[in-house]
Chain A
């Protein structure tokens, strides 16, 4: 399966990555190589293998429902480029 430039552009857009036109060609080639590797892996018969959700063979530890964090808004908002009235400000987004 080969990936073309327009598909690379779409994936870059979804991932919010800027890729120039020249880079897109090169990236398309690299992703195509990766897909070739995946094709190879998919050719293996895995019908007897249980799906793996996580490489570690342990299960999730659960946390008691307790509030352990204090409000640190003022300190945290000092890290942000802009805030006002307790809100973090970001470039305007409208759907």
Chain B
């Protein structure tokens, strides 16, 4: 039977405010255990929450970026459960009146096609602390630094149909929140986390199948693998005549399988009710419009501009706008190099290959944008050939000297002096009588061989266009 996969994602991003959602405690990543946990965060009696305006502003900023409805009135609720890393015994979240309502974002798939994925809502809530279960004489250790840190939970519609689409959606979300500067969204550090709801149904069926939820996946690659593995498991269960149980599962990356966690408590068991310690939050048009006025150029807009302004392909423009840092890097290379397409080729080609090989981000590039721009400029003004530029690039990795100095010192300048090229061409003609005869007999493709010989003789420094032209002229006579 042919199956269709239905996926909905719940993504939590930590908002990069200076202080916590409801208290004036610092909210930095990586501080020593419990040094960012004060009386409110520990839920000592008598403490009361006061909402952080910046967290609200960031949520609205996200909402506007995905064209979502912004609620002028939102209400916080308590979600009750007991766990030692949740000191209050409830998490403050937004159930019925979230700050951000329906929106959408578009993703680009492998074949270049676009798909719009609906976002159901995004609500503000507080994070829990962290439990450590090892090495405390049979006790668990609790670190409450993260407790009360502001999160934005972004819930997608079940409109994602494959692991590939899920990863494209996540990457887009990642890119948007980073462009907006509202979160670092580093999955490995937990500042972006993802729960995946997966179900399958026979192709053509319109009812949704029973879903399972895979919790807390912390990399794009694991999201993809976890979905593949869970879809296969569900198919096997159903094809063997079984039924899918609605449950929470975890992904075991070592074994590449998902396993069941505690049976999901039904929704009512969280006994949500409006948080009596917080009043309804009201914002007005001027609050929203001030945030809209400050929105940066977003990935889709930047991509469209790169296509229009620089004449780039949609694919290249997509790669170059995947992060703001990448886009800024490219624009510097293009400006200094004075040739946007060539700049795009270098950034998405040689540079990207180097970054991939070393697992570096663009911000870790050993070659700064200005230097790569200078390299491009030297190709454009024909100081170096495209081929020599590749070895120049290699040299630049370990050599911090100015690009122009390296070209001078290493003698990489392209030979454009026609006298010198004529000498090369004459030498090649003299050394290859057979090929010369073949060319004169009408075998055009031999010219490539002869050009190659001349280039080799010049150690790659001759201008190939000039060599080509001169060879033709000489052989025709």
- What residues of chain A have their CB less than 8 Å away from a CB belonging to chain B? 14, 16, 53-54, 56, 58-73, 76-77, 82, 84-95
A89 to chain B, nearest CB (A): 4
B274 to chain A, nearest CB (A): 5
Assess the B139–A53 pair: CB atoms within 8 A.
no
Assess the B279–A60 pair: CB atoms within 8 A.
yes
Taking CB atoms, residues of chain A closer than 8 Å to B84 are 88, 90, 93
Name the CB-closest residue of A to B89: A16
Name the CB-closest residue of A to B139: A89
- Indicate whether A59 sits within 8 Å of B281 (C-beta atoms), given known contacts A69-B38, A86-B32: yes
From A54, A65, A85, B52 is in contact (CB under 8 Å) with A65
- Indicate whether A86 sits within 8 Å of B143 (C-beta atoms), given known contacts A60-B282, A65-B19: yes
Q: Is the CB of B142 closer than 8 A to any CB of chain A?
A: yes
- Indicate whether A14 sits within 8 Å of B271 (C-beta atoms), given known contacts A54-B279, A63-B53, A95-B262: yes
Taking CB atoms, residues of chain A closer than 8 Å to B418 are none
The distance in angstroms between the C-alpha atoms of A76 and B18, with both chains bound, is 22
- A-B pairs, top 4 by smallest CB distance, nearest first, are A68-B24, A87-B141, A65-B54, A86-B33
Q: Is the CB of B140 closer than 8 A to any CB of chain A?
A: yes
The distance in angstroms between the C-alpha atoms of A94 and B278, with both chains bound, is 32
Task: List, sorted by A's number, 15 A–B pairs whose CB atoms are closer than 8 Å.
Answer: A53-B75, A53-B280, A54-B75, A54-B278, A61-B50, A62-B281, A64-B54, A68-B19, A69-B26, A71-B38, A76-B37, A85-B33, A88-B34, A88-B141, A89-B140
Q: Is the CB of B385 closer than 8 A to any CB of chain A?
A: no
- What residues of chain B have their CB less than 8 Å away from a CB belonging to chain A? 17-19, 23-26, 32-40, 42, 50-56, 75, 80, 82-84, 97, 131-133, 136, 138-144, 261-262, 269, 271, 274, 276, 278-282
Taking CB atoms, residues of chain B closer than 8 Å to A73 are 34-35, 37
Assess the B53–A64 pair: CB atoms within 8 A.
yes
Name the CB-closest residue of A to B269: A14
B361 to chain A, nearest CB (A): 27
Assess the A67–B25 pair: CB atoms within 8 A.
yes
From B39, B80, B143, B280, A54 is in contact (CB under 8 Å) with B280
The distance in angstroms between the C-alpha atoms of A73 and B23, with both chains bound, is 16
The distance in angstroms between the C-alpha atoms of A13 and B82, with both chains bound, is 10
Name the CB-closest residue of B to A89: B139
Taking CB atoms, residues of chain A closer than 8 Å to B271 are 14
- Indicate whether A65 sits within 8 Å of B18 (C-beta atoms), given known contacts A60-B282, A87-B34: yes
The distance in angstroms between the C-alpha atoms of A94 and B131, with both chains bound, is 9
The distance in angstroms between the C-alpha atoms of A76 and B39, with both chains bound, is 8
Taking CB atoms, residues of chain A closer than 8 Å to B144 are 88
Interface majority SS (helix, strand, loop, mixed), chain B: loop
The distance in angstroms between the C-alpha atoms of A16 and B276, with both chains bound, is 21
Assess the B24–A63 pair: CB atoms within 8 A.
yes
Assess the B24–A67 pair: CB atoms within 8 A.
yes
New A-B pairs, 19, CB < 8 Å, besides A65-B52, A65-B53: A53-B75, A53-B274, A54-B75, A59-B279, A62-B56, A62-B281, A67-B19, A68-B19, A73-B37, A76-B37, A77-B34, A85-B141, A87-B33, A89-B136, A89-B141, A91-B139, A92-B138, A92-B139, A93-B131
The distance in angstroms between the C-alpha atoms of A69 and B54, with both chains bound, is 17
Assess the B35–A86 pair: CB atoms within 8 A.
yes
Instruction: Select the residue from A53, A71, A91, A93 with max chain B CB neighbours within 10 A.
Output: A53
Assess the A90–B142 pair: CB atoms within 8 A.
yes
Name the CB-closest residue of A to B24: A68
Assess the B19–A60 pair: CB atoms within 8 A.
no
Name the CB-closest residue of A to B58: A65
Taking CB atoms, residues of chain A closer than 8 Å to B139 are 82, 89-92
Assess the A91–B141 pair: CB atoms within 8 A.
no
The distance in angstroms between the C-alpha atoms of A66 and B55, with both chains bound, is 12
The distance in angstroms between the C-alpha atoms of A68 and B52, with both chains bound, is 12
A64 to chain B, nearest CB (A): 6
The distance in angstroms between the C-alpha atoms of A84 and B142, with both chains bound, is 10
The distance in angstroms between the C-alpha atoms of A54 and B75, with both chains bound, is 9
The distance in angstroms between the C-alpha atoms of A54 and B283, with both chains bound, is 17
Taking CB atoms, residues of chain A closer than 8 Å to B278 are 54, 60
The distance in angstroms between the C-alpha atoms of A66 and B50, with both chains bound, is 12
- Indicate whether A59 sits within 8 Å of B143 (C-beta atoms), given known contacts A14-B269, A87-B132: no
Name the CB-closest residue of A to B15: A65
Taking CB atoms, residues of chain A closer than 8 Å to B40 are 69
Taking CB atoms, residues of chain A closer than 8 Å to B131 are 93
Assess the A69–B25 pair: CB atoms within 8 A.
yes
Assess the A59–B280 pair: CB atoms within 8 A.
yes
B265 to chain A, nearest CB (A): 8
Instruction: Select the residue from A58, A60, A66 with max chain B CB neighbours within 10 A.
Output: A60
B29 to chain A, nearest CB (A): 14
Taking CB atoms, residues of chain B closer than 8 Å to A77 are 34
The distance in angstroms between the C-alpha atoms of A86 and B129, with both chains bound, is 14
- Indicate whether A69 sits within 8 Å of B24 (C-beta atoms), given known contacts A14-B271, A54-B280, A91-B140: yes
Assess the A65–B17 pair: CB atoms within 8 A.
yes
The distance in angstroms between the C-alpha atoms of A84 and B24, with both chains bound, is 25
Instruction: Select the residue from A67, A72, A82 with max chain B CB neighbours within 10 A.
Output: A67
Taking CB atoms, residues of chain A closer than 8 Å to B280 are 53-54, 59-60
Assess the B36–A71 pair: CB atoms within 8 A.
yes
